Amino acid sequence: MRTNAPWLVLAVIVVAAVCIPLLAGPQVADFSAALRPPGAGHPAGTDHSGYDLLTRTAEGLRVSLLIAVVCAVVATALGLAIGVAAALAGGWLDAVVMRLVDGVNALPHLVVGIVIAAMWRGAPLAIIASIALTHWPAVARVVRAELLAVAEAGWVETSRLAGASRWFTARTHLIPAVTGQALVAMVVLLPHAVWHESTLSFLGVGLSPDRASLGTLLSEARGDVLTGAWWTLAVPAAALIATALAFAAAGASLRDRHRAPTGQVW
């Protein structure tokens, strides 16, 4: 049974990430209000600098979402280009590309990401590169497999026998199928990108601590939790988990809905 619940949850998350900071206005550090528990005036409490934690978490969520979307788009574009090239070329080029995909998949993604991000610590582009360059092989493999499957379908073979050109066959049958799979792969990549960005920032090689993201908020909360300020960890962790689960559910819903187009023979 199809449901739009994951997309509705994602819409709420995105609206909250955009609107809460705008409604709250500029935040000013107030150390006299530091580490206040959730209550009147601060529904999620405050952090060790006196910032409203709900607003701070929304700001961090907005940054993490933006980085995750850019990472997913870049990784999908790379995987799409490489997968299409491998499937359409075939032969030795296809074999070489698949060995490259296997090699990148064999690398520990987190370790590679840490190395890349640490070289340009605090740079958003370094984080995007570290995530995108380690996640494109999954997209390339999916795209290649879909192209090969569609190329063997009956309507594609009939189109060829009817005299359709290679470009007509690709434009009518192959490219629409790949586009759908690439969209699914991009949505599925989003929770991975969110987790990786948060992990890199949590480990201190991602965004700088003065720039809010879910990872930096979790990193700052490590010391606060020891003083009993559990909400400084619970609130951004809940936002991270809810966002990742919503993206994963949306990706699964989109994958279930997707069907390869049959197209026209001529």
CATH number, domain 4-24+50-258: 1.10.3720.10
Q: Is 265 exposed, middle or buried (0-12, 13-18, 19+ CB in 10 A)?
A: middle
Q: What was the pLDDT predicted at 239?
A: 94
Q: What was the pLDDT predicted at 162?
A: 73
Record the pTM. Answer: 0.83
Q: What was the pLDDT predicted at 74?
A: 94
Contact 59, 25 (CB under 8 A): no
Q: What was the pLDDT predicted at 13?
A: 93
Q: State the residue for tokens 């090689």.
A: 205
Q: What was the pLDDT predicted at 1?
A: 44
Three-state DSSP state, 92: helix
- Give 156-208 as a DSSP string: HHHHHHTT--HHHHIIIIIHHHHHHHHHHHHHHHHHHHHHHHHHHHHTTSSS-
* 52: nearest Cα among 68, 81, 30, 69: 30
Q: Could you read off the pLDDT tens digit of each residue along the chain, which spans 266 residues? A: 456 888 899 999 999 999 999 998 888 888 888 899 998 889 999 998 899 999 999 999 999 999 999 999 999 999 988 887 887 777 888 889 889 998 988 888 888 888 888 888 888 899 999 899 888 998 888 888 888 887 777 666 677 667 676 667 767 777 777 787 788 888 888 888 888 888 888 888 888 877 888 989 998 898 888 889 999 999 999 999 999 899 888 888 887 776 544 444 44
Q: What was the pLDDT predicted at 231?
A: 94
Q: What was the pLDDT predicted at 166?
A: 64
* 131: nearest Cα among 65, 183, 72: 72
Q: What was the pLDDT predicted at 143?
A: 85
Three-state DSSP state, 4: coil
